């Protein structure tokens, strides 16, 4: 079995993140508790047994926001590993541009419409911080992040077609070509 540092592992958790855009505004939520407390994010969660990523994105968006996505499109796929965690997160990113319903908040999160020019990138997960601008400018991407306590490495590749998955065994070759490192704020 290959380790996460080798780029692949059997313990893959598939999740979705949906960003909601209305004109020049974006709907994000601030997490109040749990993993990611104090960070802004899109709406999403785990893909359930028997669900497609598209179905899971629509369900999670409805459950977390109270809104129903009428128009959503897949704009990216990302892989995140965290130092000391023996799992890999496969994230499917969606952009929601039409919806209906009444926005709700919960004990876990506070949703808020923000002008695009005031997106709090410094208070977001690195995957959101780097991929979201690509999505908001009409692009699609494949990305890979590895997070540690005070730094991360990542690579992002813009693409016209989002694959269903990605051959992580090839990742080391790609990563070596990008070799990007970034200091992260202490959370």
Q: The domain that contains 20 carries what CATH number? A: 3.90.79.10
Q: What is the 3-state composition of the chain as percent helix, strand, coil, each rounded to the nearest 5?
A: 25, 45, 30
Give the other-Cβ count within 10 Å of 168's Cβ: 20
**Interatomic CA distance for residues 5 and 102, integer angstroms:** 43
**Interatomic CA distance for residues 20 and 119, integer angstroms:** 13
Residues 6+ away with beta carbon under 8 Å from 53? 14, 16, 47, 74, 92
Q: What are phi and psi of 170, to 5 degrees?
A: -85, -5
Span 125-161, pLDDT tens digits: 888 888 999 999 999 988 888 887 666 677 778 888 8
Q: What pLDDT was estimated at residue 3?
A: 36
Q: What pLDDT was estimated at residue 8?
A: 44
The reported pTM is 0.82
Query: What are the E-state strand segments in the chain?
Result: 12-22, 25-31, 40-41, 43-46, 67-82, 88-101, 109-115, 140-147, 151-159, 180-183
What residues pair up with 128 in beta bridges, in sequence order? none
**Interatomic CA distance for residues 83 and 4, integer angstroms:** 9
**Interatomic CA distance for residues 14 and 34, integer angstroms:** 18
- What is the pLDDT tens value at each position of the chain, 187 positions in all? 333 344 444 588 899 999 999 999 999 999 888 778 899 999 999 999 999 999 999 999 999 999 999 999 999 998 888 888 888 889 999 999 999 999 998 878 899 999 999 999 999 988 888 899 999 999 998 888 888 766 667 777 888 887 776 655 455 444 444 444 444 443 3
What residues pair up with 151 in beta bridges, in sequence order? 183
Q: Which domain holds residue 47?
A: 4-183
When divided into structural domains, the chain yields a total of 1
């Amino acid at each position: 079995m290959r380790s996460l540092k080798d780029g692949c592992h059997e313990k893959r958790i598939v999740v979705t993140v949906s960003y909601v855009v209305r004109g020049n505004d974006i709907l994000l939520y601030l997490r109040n508790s749990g993993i990611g407390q104090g960070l802004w994010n899109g709406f999403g969660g785990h893909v359930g047994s028997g669900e497609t990523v598209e179905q899971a994105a629509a369900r999670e968006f409805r459950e977390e926001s109270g809104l129903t996505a009428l128009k959503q499109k897949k704009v990216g796929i990302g892989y995140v590993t965290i130092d000391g965690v023996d799992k890999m997160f496969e994230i499917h990113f969606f952009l929601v541009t039409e919806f209906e319903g009444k926005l709700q908040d919960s004990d876990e999160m506070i949703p808020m419409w923000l002008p695009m020019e005031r997106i709090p990138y410094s208070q977001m997960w690195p995957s959101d911080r780097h991929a979201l601008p690509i999505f908001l400018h009409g692009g699609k991407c494949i990305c890979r992040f590895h997070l540690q306590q005070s730094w991360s490495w990542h690579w992002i590749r813009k693409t016209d077609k989002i694959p269903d998955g990605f051959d992580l065994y090839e990742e080391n070759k790609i990563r070596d070509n990008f070799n990007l490192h970034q200091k992260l704020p202490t959370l």
